[in-house]
Structure 1
Amino acid sequence: MIRFGYAIRRSGVLAAVVTALACGTAAAQTPVKFTLDWKFEGPAAPFVVAADKGYYKAEGLDVTIDTAGGSLEPLNRIASGTYDIGFGDINSLIKFRDANPNVPIKAIFMVYNKPPFSIVGRKSRGVVNPKDLEGKKLGAPAPDGAYAQWKIFTQANNIDPSKVTIENVGFPVREPMLAAGQVDAITGFSFSSYINLKDRGVPADDISVILMADHGVNLYGNAIIVNPKFAAEKPEVVKKFLNAFLKGLKDTVKSPDTAVDSVVKRNDVAKKPVELERLQMALKDNIVTPEVKANGFGGVDMGRLDKSIDQIAITYDFKNPKPKGDAIFDPSFLPPAADRKL
């Protein structure tokens, strides 16, 4: 009986130790609120792959990932402190910083080395090249990141904007209106509008995708951004987040077919073939660019960023002195350069 009681006591002590360790591990997880720029679609794969493979947890992080309604929403969420880290358009960030100089949010990891801003048209409606837009009707949501570059695009391609009819359309009806022939072309992210049109039955060979980056709009795209207070108080947490994300990004590049499953399971209306094609477009056109192949993921060329800010000045009147790239992008949180190589 004495031995049996000892065994029970010993078992109870071990159980208590295991429980304490488990609670301690859970307590050690630092909460991080992260916001995407859009829905759970193919290009969001690197963020959710890092979650599903336990990369955030391995870094001691408890990351919550939420969707958003466009590239501007993450800026407001990060600036207010409602979210710690997010994913948004660096060009919108530059304008936001100018309008809100007391909220110095910064980009810390460039994801879309080449932005997906595009004009997507119907060949059957005579839209193949930039100049074809003259005399046509363009559907453009007012807050659309691609439409924000319209003035740069028209100047770079000698388009007379007075010859293009702009119709302010909502995001949900943009592709349906082009599919129905109510407009001749639309502004949007290439991998979103192209795939959405195909999914609505528009033949692929009737869709023209005019990437603005291939026609004089020399900007960067979406980046990971951080709340300045959070970055100052928890710099190691920010670095750990980027370490985990980088692993998810590399896994996504290596196996898009597997990675997209992490997106589809979070989106009840998503179709795997559609989201896989969307992801593959983003990887090819926006993420794994020649610059990234040469220099690795995450960083920027400061000279190129400075020139992009000069180009933004074509569409935006800076209220304060025009910033330099190093005021917008902080590389100090990036993983080591060797780890960022493909």
Structure 2
Amino acid sequence: MGLRMMRFIAPLLGCAALSVLAACPSLAQDKVKVRLAWVAGGVDAPIFMAASKGYFKDAGLDVDIVDGNGSTGTIQAIGSGDFDIGIAGLGALAQAQQGSGADTIIAVAGLLQKDPTAIISLKGSGITKPKDLEGKRLGTDAGNFEDGMIKAFAEANGVDMGKIEVVMINGGGDRVALLKRDVDFINGWANPDGDKVAAQAPIEPPMLFADYGVNILGSSVIVRKDYLSTHAETVKSFLVALQKGKAAAAADPDGALKVLMEARPDSDEEGIRGEIATMPKYEHTAASEGKAYGWIAKEDVDLTISLLEKYSGMKPGLTSDKIYDGSYLPAN
């Protein structure tokens, strides 16, 4: 009698246990709040692909992706604990840490390592090499000029800034001024800024600052150090899933575009398409070429720090190990 009862109860107990597990999948999921650097764009395709393909879920992560309004805002949001993982420029992180004296946030991967900032000029401008900038008119806004990188580009390439007429154009009107030929060149991102100009008039090949000795590391995965100390496996799992998302986006860019547009239906579809196509060429420097997605070379971190100290007024003393730790990435 007892044996027959057990044969009847045991399957029910098993089903009950399975039902509990099935009904409560969140028990196995580690909730992670992620804040992007800006409104979602092509650079973020690997994150959205990792979410869509279930790579985060497979890694035990329940990831919530929120748009940002700039690296500074994301750095502040991570620092305050409002988010667990953020995407922000590594150069911006360095400046923020040195400016505040805090040592609470670190980058664990670099998504855009070759700075897209470039000299953009119209076809026939006569600007094909750095020295050609002398005697020409630069259109820029105050913030873009004062960050010091155009000055760094000039000094690194023997260009006399005193021979360049600087025309301040606020409100993002530099592209319009260039198209109207009110200025001879602007400094912006080769993609998408250069693409937007090229859609209106032929341009010379943009001169990337990174190709001329001036490279500031860009979009990176950042976390608080205290979060990292208690959630090391979470961060590792996130990066593994992110690399899978990158591979999926590279294999199927149209699929990546579809995923992004489903997640952010108000986005500029053609703009996103262009970013997905062009951003991969900015993912590595010569020093990190051939390495896994996200891996940063120490020499590139050192260069970023030295450029910021020399041209952007960042106080000295920061070392690469204070702002980047690549040990959480999967082995190359």
Q: Common fold, TM-score beyond 0.5?
A: yes
Give the AA of the match of 1:335. P
274, 277, 280: which is aligned to 1:280? 277
**Contact kept in structure 1, 2:108 and 2:329, CA below 8 Å:** yes
Q: Look up the match of 2:149.
A: 149
Q: Aligned with 2:296: secondary structure? A: coil
Does residue 1:222 correspond to 2:216, yes or no?
A: no
Matched ranges for 1:80-119 at <5 A: 80-119=80-119
**CA root-mean-square deviation:** 2.9
Instruction: Call closer, same or farther: CA 1:296–1:220 in 2, change over 3 Å.
Output: same
**Contact kept in structure 2, 1:127 and 1:208, CA below 8 Å:** no
For residues 66-124 of structure 1, what are the alpha-carbon distances to aligned partners after superposition, in whole Å with 9 as ceiling and x for unaligned?
A: 22233333222222222221112111211111112224211110112312122222234
Give the AA of the match of 2:31. P
Matched ranges for 1:258-277 at <5 A: 258-265=255-262, 266-272=264-270, 274-277=271-274
Within 2, Cα distance between the matches of 1:74 and 1:126?
A: 40
Identity of paired residues, percent?
Answer: 30
Q: Aligned with 1:246: secondary structure? A: helix
Does residue 1:330 correspond to 2:328, yes or no?
A: no
Instruction: Between 49-58 and 113-122, report the one with greater CA deviation.
Output: 113-122
Shift of 1:207: 4.8
Q: Unaligned 5+ residue runs, structure 2?
A: 1-8
211, 225, 239: which is aligned to 2:236? 239
Q: Look up the match of 1:313.
A: 309
Shift of 1:288: 4.9
Within 1, Cα distance between the matches of 2:19 and 2:204?
A: 59
Q: Look up the match of 1:170.
A: 171
**Contact kept in structure 2, 1:122 and 1:185, CA below 8 Å:** yes
Within 2, Cα distance between the matches of 1:84 and 1:23?
A: 26
Shift of 1:246: 0.8
Q: Look up the match of 1:257.
A: 254
For residues 278-327 of structure 1, what are the alpha-carbon distances to aligned partners after superposition, in whole Å with 9 as ceiling and x for unaligned?
A: 2222112x1155544433322222234223322222113343x4222112
Within 1, Cα distance between the matches of 2:58 and 2:41?
A: 25
How many aligned residue pairs are there? 322
Shift of 1:170: 3.0
Instruction: Call closer, same or farther: CA 1:47–1:177 in 2, change over 3 Å.
Output: farther
Q: Look up the match of 1:202.
A: 200
Within 1, Cα distance between the matches of 2:311 and 2:57?
A: 42
Shift of 1:143: 4.6
Give the AA of the match of 2:152. I
Within 2, Cα distance between the matches of 1:156 and 1:240?
A: 40
298, 304, 316: which is aligned to 1:302? 298
For residues 120-158 of structure 1, what are the alpha-carbon distances to aligned partners after superposition, in whole Å with 9 as ceiling and x for unaligned?
A: 222344544333333444333445599542221111122
Q: Aligned with 2:249: secondary structure? A: helix
Instruction: Between 51-60 and 181-190, report the one with greater CA deviation.
Output: 181-190
Give the AA of the match of 1:169. N
Q: Look up the match of 2:52.
A: 52
**Contact kept in structure 2, 1:122 and 1:128, CA below 8 Å:** no
Instruction: Call closer, same or farther: CA 1:109–1:43 in 2, change over 3 Å.
Output: same
Instruction: Call closer, same or farther: CA 1:288–1:313 in 2, change over 3 Å.
Output: closer
Q: Unaligned 5+ residue runs, structure 1?
A: 1-8, 338-342
TM-score, normalized by length of structure 1? 0.82
Shift of 1:45: 0.9
Q: Aligned with 1:123: secondary structure? A: coil
Q: Look up the match of 1:5.
A: none
Within 1, Cα distance between the matches of 2:234 and 2:174?
A: 39
**Contact kept in structure 2, 1:34 and 1:63, CA below 8 Å:** yes
Within 2, Cα distance between the matches of 1:185 and 1:147?
A: 17
For residues 188-233 of structure 1, what are the alpha-carbon distances to aligned partners after superposition, in whole Å with 9 as ceiling and x for unaligned?
A: 22222123334xx413x32541110011214433211112232122
Give the AA of the match of 1:101. G
Q: Look up the match of 2:4.
A: none
Within 1, Cα distance between the matches of 2:177 and 2:69?
A: 20
Shift of 1:277: 2.6
Q: Look up the match of 1:34.
A: 34
Instruction: Call closer, same or farther: CA 1:279–1:143 in 2, change over 3 Å.
Output: farther
